[in-house]
Amino acid sequence: MHKAGIRDVAREAGVSISTVSRAFTKPQLVSQATRDRVMAAANKLDFNISRSAMALKSGQTYRVALLMSEGITSWFNAEVFAGIDDVMHGKGYDISLYQHINDAETRDRFFTVLPVLRNVDAVFVASFAIEPAEIEQLRRTKVPIVGINTPDPLRFDASETIDDEGGMYRAAQHMIKLGHKRIVYTCSAAAETLDASIDLRGHGFIRACERAQNTHDISWKVLTVPRGRDFADNALTAVLSEDRFPDAICCQMDMMAIPLMIKLARHGYRAPRDYSIIGFDDAPYADTVELTTMRQNPYEMGRNAAMKALTLLEGRALEQPHAILEPKLVLRGSDSRYEGE
């Protein structure tokens, strides 16, 4: 049985062989009407061009890399991945995941090997800072490098970043304006081997409390617990160990706030009756438990980052390469005005 080739598609579509090639490898150079005609002919003849052939012709691998400090199963990373894939998949790109780049050995191996292989067309870095030397190693790949919620976004060619510090600053301000007197911030200890954007939230809490001390009668404290699977249990222990139970709790993230709310209820403390609590993220189940939180949208951040990468891949300049997004206060049922004891 004769297998259709590129000449057959060109003859069927009434275009040149080079036009068929461009329709597959560089569609931006072909009018939509011509591309539709070529694709219709290719579909009729059951023709497809292999990924390796496209790569050889265009000089692209049609693969991008997504670097993350944690695993893909975390809420933030899963949403970022979904957003990137929503854009890149439709353009013919696959996504290679590089997870748990959070220790010196893994980082050294990755940032040494990837530039040598040069097997991706763009690199996305999610939620952690990379050192200047690592940036220079990545630049050897000569591909766009896009940061997603990274502490130092200006080091990248483009970025989409949530204002973590400002968001928690406003969360703490919200509690202070409700009249709360004893406020704590529960968080996981920062990783020793990398700077993560989430750690900036603690700076926002401290800044808000220090500023309010001059005008409000408040006491505040940061309760730092070890990282790992037991962080919610450790946060519970830390809160219950306070000499006086706090009347307001700001949590570093919803995935700490949600189990903390449930566990405190088992000890007789219910929000908002006995205390107010606010999270950060608007992660799954935050609405189920009526958690007041600071909302961010990592899916949209991933989509926007992918659109910027595509623009750079096409050789076009970005009007706004770096965007800082403000988290939104979402009021639910876990906070209320403090009426005193």
pTM of the model: 0.79
- pLDDT tens for residues 111-140? 666 654 457 889 899 887 777 777 777 777
Tell me: do 53 and 103 sit in the same domain.
Answer: no
Structural domain harbouring 95: 63-163+298-326
Tell me: do 180 and 287 sit in the same domain.
Answer: yes
Whole-angstrom Cα distance, residue 45 to residue 13? 11
Question: Around Cβ 280, how many Cβ atoms within 10 Å?
Answer: 27
- Report yes or no: 139 and 117 within 8 Å, Cβ to Cβ: no
Share of the chain above pLDDT 70, in %: 88
In a domain, 168, yes or no: yes
Tell me: do 184 and 269 sit in the same domain.
Answer: yes
In a domain, 1, yes or no: no
- pLDDT tens for residues 77-109? 999 999 999 999 988 898 988 887 766 667 676
CA geometry: angle 316, 142, 137, nearest 5 deg = 135
Whole-angstrom Cα distance, residue 34 to residue 39? 9
Tell me: do 81 and 230 sit in the same domain.
Answer: no
Tell me what pLDDT residue 205 has. 98
- pLDDT tens for residues 199-213? 899 999 999 999 999
Torsion of CA 98, 100, 105, 109, to 10 degrees: 0
Whole-angstrom Cα distance, residue 245 to residue 223? 13
Tell me: do 169 and 276 sit in the same domain.
Answer: yes
Tell me what pLDDT residue 46 has. 78
- pLDDT tens for residues 306-340? 999 999 998 999 999 999 999 999 999 999 999 87
Greater confidence (30 vs 27) lies with: 30
Tell me: do 157 and 211 sit in the same domain.
Answer: no
Count of structural domains, the chain: 3
Tell me what pLDDT residue 3 has. 67
In a domain, 333, yes or no: no
- Report yes or no: 118 and 333 within 8 Å, Cβ to Cβ: no
